[in-house]
Amino acid sequence: MKGFTYLSKILHSHSSYPKLLVLCSVSTGGLLVYAESNVESRKQVVEQNQPESKKKRVVVLGTGWGGTSFLKDVDISSYDVQVVSPRNYFAFTPLLPSVTCGTVEARSIVEPVRNIIKKRSGEIQFWEAECLKIDPVNRTVSCRSGINDNLAGHNDFSLQYDYLVVAVGAQVNTFNTPGVMEHCHFLKEVEDAQTIRRTVIDCFEKSVIPGLSEEERRTNLHFVIVGGGPTGVEFAAELHDYVYEDLVKIYPSVKDFVKITVIQSGDHILNTFDERISSFAEQKFQRDGIEVSTGCRVTSVSDHFINMKVKSTGKHVEVPYGMVVWSTGVGTRPFVKDFMEQVGQEKRRILATDEWLRVKGCSNVYALGDCASVDQRKVMEDISTIFKAADKDDSGTLSIEEFRDVLEDIIIRYPQVDLYLKNKHFLEAKDLFRDSGGNETEEVDIEGFKLALSHVDSQMKSLPATAQVAAQQGTYLARCLNHWDQCKSNPEGPRRFKSSGRHEFLPFEYRHLGQFAPLGGDQAAAELPGDWVSMGHSTQWLWYSVYASKQVSWRTRYLVVGDWVAAQQGTYLARCLNRWDQCKSNPEGPRHFKSSGRHEFLPFQYRHLGQFAPLGGDQAAAELPGDWVSMGHSTQWLWYSVYASKQVSWRTRYLVVGDWVRRYIFGRDSSRI
């Protein structure tokens, strides 16, 4: 034990040494190997009061996918980067449905922002506060700390910026449906997932109380999910597995009263996926007993009932429930709405940016992720410029060869062209060239060119509000700013089509890398690039590997994989050793002195097995039987072994030992979760 303590101190004090941990898990019979090199020293101090810098200041609002990916890639040697967010951690939001049912623990999917800052040499400043107002004229943001008011100091402060990155995400959109805010649960934040988890247990505990009618038990155990998108479907699948693999074993008396319902306003669930995936999900839910109500719109929610309208019949239906999770729609945060009014976007539903993520109506402000929408430029707006650039011989007509030469540039600048060609199954540029009568032609004039591309803009689609989009936007913007600063003078700006400039930034182009839909029962569906659709058990393992690789740190990767391993071993084990029950008939009872009986129990006698006092610094003191006293590092390891052996189950033993190992490798968690 002394040798291990000495080795751990060496690893912590020399960040350049590779770290290797081999943890043998007795409970799973498996071997987990973790390796990491060049880990930052745990004792590095983040400077809070840095001298005033001459570098341009970039203020980042938010620590979600967009903000965090920007922080990881922006050149901090060129910019003074300051971050403001009401939460001091990054959350891996795609795993929130898993947190609701305990498949993954909440702390496993969060990474403290200050850990991310530390990896950037600590030159980024962070304040845990909420943005209240953006002033684009004076280039300031007003913020307020939400930390306990009993502490000394002011809560309000403001920051000047040269560049502002708005990456605050979105809030829940209730579509002004009465009762939603008061009676529904949401699944946007880690705290939401924890609340749902507690509520599920509340529903079961309330249902086993004596004296309830059968109807009351059914109502309490009716779980309703409003919204058949990826989040709603994944939560329904997680909840089904949680209920029928775990909860019914410890609440067997009410297992027949459980019901899970998904309400979807569209004709199918997962309607943004391939039709094959949507059909597969509906069939699996039908086999699992999950009721899917499509073509239904929720009109109001009361404390005990959901009122919904069935589109096909026009009838209104009242549905009793025990818990409702609202998982549809995203809305704009209040301070973003105020900002939109200041920049002339008051009539829009969501903040608008151009293709370079610049907020329309003001300068030096960028917006990422769910809080903004990219307004893609239409081909027809630049049709004359495109025609002129393609017509190299200035003949006034465009040949197929000339058009083919510029087609790649057009597709890069206007992604809707590529979508149009694929949807129409056009293989060649000549497929677009037709005269007014619809016949193929070898060349077209400007009017014919307009006719050829007249329907292309109909393929324009808004980018989905996903983590994948936000992360790519954050990386793109960081690289643009890094490149911008490399100029000796300001660049001429981004380019439209075939224009020139000292720095020509291509517009943001989203690369869709696929999407997953876990469906429970260790099955998942995936839609991947190349029109590849995968469904079944193997896809679930692909989901595991992708989500593990996308974690923002080795710490969260270790914890998430550990949680998945624990969940796979999560069969309910309960062993009750009761000597009393071994009698063929009731014993005559305990004895006093020299009495007889079929089972003669001695009176209770306390046996003192010792006591520990952990003293910090990997040291402890112990007082053990036989008047033996032990102190120091070796006693701390004795404390570990005793407290691990005294856990009430292999599950808690596995988790506690895993937490101790995590602390040695990654340090203690500083997030608020």
Residue 504's pLDDT is 60
Range of the domain at 267: 174-326+494-552
Q: Is 499 found in the same domain as 606? A: no
**Burial letters for 136-164: b for 16+ Cβ neighbours within 10 Å, e otherwise?**
beebbbbbebeeeeeeeeeeeeebebebb
Residue at 149 is within a domain: no
- 100 SS3 class: helix
Predicted model pTM: 0.77
Residue 214, classified by CB atoms within 10 Å of its CB into exposed (0-12), middle (13-18) or buried (19+), is exposed
**Burial letters for 192-210: b for 16+ Cβ neighbours within 10 Å, e otherwise?**
bbbebbebbeebbeebeee
Q: Is 289 found in the same domain as 187? A: yes
Residue at 96 is within a domain: no
Q: From CA 385, how far away is CA 377, in angstroms rounded?
A: 13
Q: Is 516 found in the same domain as 449? A: no
Q: Is 534 found in the same domain as 593? A: no
Please name which of 467, 519, 527 lies closest in space to residue 234, comparing C-alpha atoms: 519
Q: Is 320 found in the same domain as 239? A: yes
Q: Which amino acid appears at position 42 of this protein?
A: R
Order of strands, sheet of 259-264, starting from the edge strand that comes earlier in the sequence:
185-186, 323-326, 222-226, 259-264, 291-294
Residue at 86 is within a domain: no
597: tokens are 């009986």
Residue 438's pLDDT is 57
| Number of structural domains found in the chain | 3
624 half-sphere exposure, CB direction, 13 A CA radius: 11
Residue at 536 is within a domain: yes
Residue 636's pLDDT is 83
Q: Which amino acid appears at position 597 of this protein?
A: G
- C-beta of residue 162 within 8 angstroms of C-beta of residue 148: no
- Alpha helix (H) ranges present in 383-501? 383-390, 400-413, 415-423, 446-452, 467-484
618-621: long-range contacts, CB 8 A cutoff, minimum separation 24:
618/5, 618/8
Residue 498's pLDDT is 47
Q: From CA 91, how far away is CA 73, in angstroms rounded?
A: 18
Residue at 666 is within a domain: no
Q: Is 595 found in the same domain as 453? A: no
Residue at 89 is within a domain: no
User: Which is it for strands 398-399 and 443-444: parallel, antiparallel or unpaired?
Assistant: antiparallel
Residue 281's pLDDT is 94
Q: Is 393 found in the same domain as 310? A: no
- 34 SS3 class: strand
Residue 18's pLDDT is 36
Residue at 201 is within a domain: yes
Q: Residues in the chain with pLDDT < 50? A: 1-50, 435-436, 488, 498-503, 571-587
Predicted confidence (pLDDT) per residue in 327-364, tens digit: 988 899 999 999 999 999 999 999 999 988 999 999 99
Please name which of 504, 471, 551, 486 lies closest in space to residue 73, comparing C-alpha atoms: 471
Backbone φ and ψ of 541, nearest 5°: -70, -30
CATH number at residue 264: 3.50.50.100
Residue at 569 is within a domain: no
Q: Is 180 found in the same domain as 309? A: yes
Residue 27's pLDDT is 34
Q: Is 320 found in the same domain as 248? A: yes
Residues 6+ apart with CB under 8 A from 200: 100, 101, 223, 239, 242, 247, 323
CATH number at residue 455: 1.10.238
Q: Is 543 found in the same domain as 407? A: no
User: Which is it for strands 316-320 and 532-536: parallel, antiparallel or unpaired?
Assistant: unpaired
Q: Is 426 found in the same domain as 507? A: no
Q: Is 180 found in the same domain as 296? A: yes
What is residue 486's DSSP assignment?
T
Q: Which of 433, 459, 485 is the last residue of a domain?
A: 459
- 659 SS3 class: helix
